[in-house]
Amino acid sequence: MTEPKIRIENISYAYDGAPALRNISLEVQPNTITVFFGPAGGGKTTLLRLINRLNDLVENTKIEGRILLDGQDIYAPGVDVSQLRRKVGMVFALPLPLPGTLRENVVYGPKRAGVRDVRRLVEITERSLTQAALWDEVKDRLDSPASALSGGQQQRLCIARSLALEPEVLLLDEPTSGLDPISTGKVEAALQEAKKNYTIIIIPHSIQQAARVADYAAFFLMGELIEYRRGREIFTTPRDKRTEDYVTGRFG
Amino acid sequence: MNRYLGQRVGFTLLGGLTFIVVAPILLVVGVIVVNGLGALSWEFLTAMPREGMKAGGIFPAIVGTLLLTLGTALVAIPLGIGGAIYLAEYARETWFTRAIRLAIINLAGIPSVVYGLFGLGMFVLFSQFGTSIVAGSLTLALMTLPIIISASEEALRAVPTEFRTVNASLGGTHWQGIRQVVLPQALPGIITGVILGLLRAAGETAPILFTVAAFYLPRLPQSPFDQTMALPYHLYVISTQVPGMPLQIQYGTALVLLTLALALNLCATLIRSYFRKRRQW
């Protein structure tokens, strides 16, 4: 067994006094795709946003437990949050290009981190767009507004934007929920490719997608982790009755 | 057919109402232009007033108003935008920030003559700036601040939170997000607020009455601590205080003030549309 990339230890989380996560513990292996799935309101997104501390932006929250990245507690005092978020990138359900050109979008993160060398930035742009399977479509219009792209292209641009920082972990929250099947296929292919270099946690937008991409899968229900298994058996031979009901379509 | 008839009656009615609103404005502008255009000449715009202001030009009043507006801008823009950024992006909702907001709203409702008296006490006498451009600009800036702060805060809040989240997720600090993502998108709204505030400052009489304005001073101010003539006060003086004033000069002065205001407004519109075109998503 390799050293886990991320170790979540007894995480409980409450927002405005209402518990959203109850005592979650799980380990994420490096260079794998881990799927968080389950019905809405189960706490998947909340847990995802705890891993790069995006929940810091929300007020009135209470967190217990620890999250370790490479053995380091990311909530320990003195942790540089910007540095953490460069290591743990995130892609959201709705692609939201920043105002400006494609190029400006891709290099936004590196620039904020202090990269000024133009040649470096050009390299980063090509590498990230290639990894996100978008380079061939946009290489001739890098200086046009990002808003002119189609929805599927915008989402791959957002993935490229995260990859530009060369993160170690990539969190994706229903990245294909607004996309057509062809774009979805391209994004999933890009993720399989990206897995070689990154550790990926994804909230899929359907059970079919979960089953397609999962190396590990975790089923969340009402703030609890019900079942966490290696491979795809969770979708064919679930152990817990509640998981079975969900994957066979009895609810959700 | 009946529905379409109703729609047409409705549109006609609304159009008529709009005309009633717009007509007085057109009338005012029209009267001023028709009566004032004859007074306009190169001399009127660039010469000192003569013969107790009944002849010559209004040059020092034009320069005075421009200087006062500039002074107001120098103080009110950084303070106003800075305050708005604090309120919209940094301050948490506490009784303290609620009190600040309440104070700002109340400041906007204070009659301008009260600002004038406050300026007299605070800047002219207590701070010993004397009756001067500095004292006048500070007084006008104080009056302009609530307008700039409210408009800028609203413009900043109108930028969706998701942009701040995206900035954070890409390792940007809070300030980097404000500087790179939020401010550029809020800029058109902020500029509108700034121009509205400055327009009001340029046209006010009461705040400058006790703090800077000279009744008759046929020379340009020599330093920021000098008095100056200013268009609104000059207009008030020649309309009410000087018997036998030629009507044309009064209308001419009003026309110059109006043109300055419109020019400022036009600038704002141009800047705004420029930024809208550049920053779209």
Rounded to 5 degrees, what are φ and ψ at A239?
A: -90, -35
The pLDDT value recorded for residue A85 is 96
Task: Tell me the shortest Cα–Cα distance from B105 to chain A, in angstroms.
Answer: 26
The pLDDT value recorded for residue A222 is 93
A77, part of any domain:
yes
| 43-102 in chain A: CB under 8 A from chain B | 52, 54, 56-57, 59, 82-83, 85-86, 89-90, 92, 94, 96-100
Contact B92 A59 (CB under 8 A): yes
The pLDDT value recorded for residue B244 is 84
Residue range(s) defining the domain that contains residue A131: 6-247
In whole angstroms, what is the distance from residue A167 CA to residue A90 CA?
9
Which residues is A34 bridged to in the sheet?
A201, A216
In whole angstroms, what is the distance from residue A92 CA to residue A100 CA?
19
pLDDT in tens, B161-191: 999 999 999 999 999 999 999 999 999 899 9
The pLDDT value recorded for residue A74 is 95
pLDDT in tens, B104-127: 989 888 999 999 999 999 999 999
Mean pLDDT for A94-111 is 93
A252, part of any domain:
no
A120 pLDDT band, cuts 50/70/90, is very high
Contacts of A88 (CB under 8 A, 6+ apart): A51, A52, A69, A167, A168, A169, A170, A171
Q: Which residue has the higher pLDDT, A232 or B5?
A: B5
Contact A147 B181 (CB under 8 A): no
CA-nearest of B198, B184, B190 to B263 is: B198
- Asked if A86 contacts A52 with a C-beta cutoff of 8 angstroms, the reply is no
Task: Fold for B56-278, please state it.
Answer: MetI-like fold (1.10.3720)
CA-nearest of B15, B61, B29 to B228 is: B61
The pLDDT value recorded for residue A252 is 57
Residue B281: pLDDT over 50: no
The pLDDT value recorded for residue A199 is 94
For A89, which residue in chain B has the nearest alpha carbon? B169
Q: What's the DSSP call for residue A189?
A: H
CA R_g for chain B: 23
Burial level of A176, CB count in 10 A (0-12/13-18/19+)?
buried
In whole angstroms, what is the distance from residue B32 CA to residue B15 CA?
26
The contact set of B with A (CB < 8 A) is 92, 162-173, 176, 180-181, 184-185, 279-281
pLDDT in tens, B36-92: 998 888 989 988 888 878 888 899 999 999 999 999 999 999 999 999 999 999 988
Burial level of A208, CB count in 10 A (0-12/13-18/19+)?
exposed
Question: What's the CATH code of the domain at A36?
Answer: 3.40.50.300
CA-nearest of B190, B188, B197, B200 to B274 is: B188
Does residue A144 belong to the interface with chain B, where contact is any CB pair within 8 Å?
Answer: no
Q: Which residues of B touch A161 (CB under 8 A)?
A: 170
pLDDT in tens, A151-188: 889 999 999 999 999 999 999 999 888 778 888 888 88
Reported for B101-107, long-range contacts at CB under 8 A and 24+ positions apart, including other chains, are B104/B145, B104/B146, B104/B149, B104/B150, B105/B146, B105/B150, B107/B142, B107/B145, B107/B146
Q: What is the mean pLDDT of chain A?
A: 91
Q: Where are the beta strands (DSSP E) in chain B?
A: 49-50, 55-56
pLDDT in tens, B17-42: 999 999 999 999 999 999 999 888 89
Mean pLDDT for A78-103 is 93
The pLDDT value recorded for residue B278 is 64
pLDDT in tens, B139-152: 999 999 999 999 99
Q: What is the ipTM of this complex?
A: 0.90
CA-nearest of B62, B71, B82, B90 to B143 is: B71
Mean pLDDT for B248-258 is 93
In whole angstroms, what is the distance from residue B133 CA to residue B201 CA?
13
The pLDDT value recorded for residue B279 is 57
Mean pLDDT for A1-5 is 79
| 192-231 in chain A: CB under 8 A from chain B | none
Percent of chain B with pLDDT over 70: 98
> What are the Cα distances from residue A148, in Å, to A102, A155, A201, B183, B229?
9, 12, 29, 22, 53
For A160, which residue in chain B has the nearest alpha carbon? B170
Q: What is the mean pLDDT of chain B?
A: 91
The pLDDT value recorded for residue A91 is 94
Task: Tell me the shortest Cα–Cα distance from B155 to chain A, in angstroms.
Answer: 16
Contact B171 A54 (CB under 8 A): no
CA-nearest of A32, A5, A6 to A217 is: A32
Contact A54 B168 (CB under 8 A): yes
Contact B281 A85 (CB under 8 A): no
How many structural domains compose chain A?
A: 1
pLDDT in tens, B184-224: 999 989 998 999 899 999 999 999 999 998 888 888 888 89
Residue A1: pLDDT over 60: no
Q: Are strands A216-221 and A61-69 parallel, antiparallel or unpaired?
A: unpaired
